A and B are shown apart, each in its own frame.
Chain A
Amino acid sequence: MDFSLTNEYAMAQKLFRDFAQNEVAPIAEEIDENHRFPTETVALMQKYGFMGIPFSKEWGGQGCDYLTYTLAVEEISKVCGTTGVILSAHTSLGAGAINAYGTPEQKEKFLRPLADGSKIGAFGLTEPEAGTDAAGQQTKAVLEGDEWVINGNKIFITNGGEADIYVIFAMTDKSAGTRGISAFIVEKGTPGFEFGINEKKMGIRGSATRELIFRDCRIPKDQLLGKEGKGFGVAMSTLDDGRIGIAAQALGIAGGALEKTVAYVKERKQFGRPISAFQNTQFKLAEMKTELEAARWLVYHAASKYDNGERHSVEAAMAKLKASRVASYITNLAVQLHGGYGYIQDYGVERMMRDAKITEIYEGTSEVMLMVVSAALLK
Chain B
Amino acid sequence: MTIEDYKGVFTFAQQVHGELSNVSLELIGKARDLAQDLQTDVSVILLGHEISHLAKELIAYGADHVIVIDDPVLEEYRTEPYTQGVTAVIDSYKPEIVLFGATAIGRDLAPRVAGRVHTGLTADCTSLDIDPESKEFRMTRPAFGGNLMATIICPDHRPAMATVRPGVMVKELRDDSREGEIVKFDVAFEENQCWFEIEEVIKKVSHKIDITQAKVLVSGGRGLGDASCFELLQGLADALGGEVSCSRAVVDAGWQPKERQVGQTGKTVRPQLYIACGISGAIQHLAGMEESDYIVAINKDPDAPIFNVADVGIVGDLHRIVPMLTEKILASRQE
Residue A222 is within 8 A (CB to CB) of chain B in the complex: no
Residue B265 is within 8 A (CB to CB) of chain A in the complex: yes
Q: How far is the CA of A268 from the CA of B265 in the complex (A)?
A: 15
Residue of B nearest to A263 (CB): B287
- Measured CB to CB, the closest approach of chain B to A275, in angstroms, equals 12
- Please determine whether B265 and A267 come into contact, CB atoms closer than 8 angstroms: no
Q: How far is the CA of A267 from the CA of B287 in the complex (A)?
A: 9
Please name all residues of chain B whose beta carbon is closer than 8 Å to the beta carbon of A346 when the two chains form the complex: 265
Contact digits for B259-272, partner A, Cβ 8 Å, 1 yes 0 no? 00000010000000
> CB within 8 Å of A: which of B3-54?
none
How many residues of chain B have a CB within 8 Å of chain A?
Answer: 3
Number of A-B contacts (CB under 8 A): 5
Please name all residues of chain B whose beta carbon is closer than 8 Å to the beta carbon of A268 when the two chains form the complex: 283
Residue of B nearest to A344 (CB): B265
Residue of A nearest to B283 (CB): A267
Please name all residues of chain B whose beta carbon is closer than 8 Å to the beta carbon of A269 when the two chains form the complex: 283
Q: How far is the CA of A60 from the CA of B287 in the complex (A)?
A: 44
How many residues of chain A have a CB within 8 Å of chain B?
Answer: 4
- Measured CB to CB, the closest approach of chain B to A229, in angstroms, equals 55
Q: How far is the CA of A290 from the CA of B287 in the complex (A)?
A: 28
Q: How far is the CA of A292 from the CA of B287 in the complex (A)?
A: 27
Contact digits for A330-354, partner B, Cβ 8 Å, 1 yes 0 no? 0000000000000000100000000
Residue of A nearest to B248 (CB): A346
- Measured CB to CB, the closest approach of chain A to B258, in angstroms, equals 12
Please name all residues of chain A whose beta carbon is closer than 8 Å to the beta carbon of B287 when the two chains form the complex: 267
- Measured CB to CB, the closest approach of chain B to A214, in angstroms, equals 45
Please name all residues of chain A whose beta carbon is closer than 8 Å to the beta carbon of B283 when the two chains form the complex: 267-269
Q: How far is the CA of A346 from the CA of B287 in the complex (A)?
A: 15
- Measured CB to CB, the closest approach of chain B to A188, in angstroms, equals 37
> CB within 8 Å of B: which of A97-127?
none
Residue of A nearest to B287 (CB): A267
Q: How far is the CA of A191 from the CA of B52 in the complex (A)?
A: 82
- Measured CB to CB, the closest approach of chain B to A326, in angstroms, equals 26
Contact digits for A250-268, partner B, Cβ 8 Å, 1 yes 0 no? 0000000000000000011
> CB within 8 Å of B: which of A236-287?
267-269
Please name all residues of chain B whose beta carbon is closer than 8 Å to the beta carbon of A267 when the two chains form the complex: 283, 287
Residue of B nearest to A268 (CB): B283
- Measured CB to CB, the closest approach of chain B to A112, in angstroms, equals 41
> CB within 8 Å of A: which of B259-310?
265, 283, 287
> CB within 8 Å of B: which of A332-379?
346
Q: How far is the CA of A269 from the CA of B308 in the complex (A)?
A: 14
- Measured CB to CB, the closest approach of chain A to B262, in angstroms, equals 15
- Measured CB to CB, the closest approach of chain A to B209, in angstroms, equals 17
- Residue numbers of B with Cβ under 8 A of A are 265, 283, 287
**5 A-B interface contacts by CB (under 8 A):** A267-B283, A267-B287, A268-B283, A269-B283, A346-B265
In the A-B complex, the 5 residue pairs with the smallest Cβ-Cβ separation, listed nearest first, are A346-B265, A267-B283, A267-B287, A268-B283, A269-B283
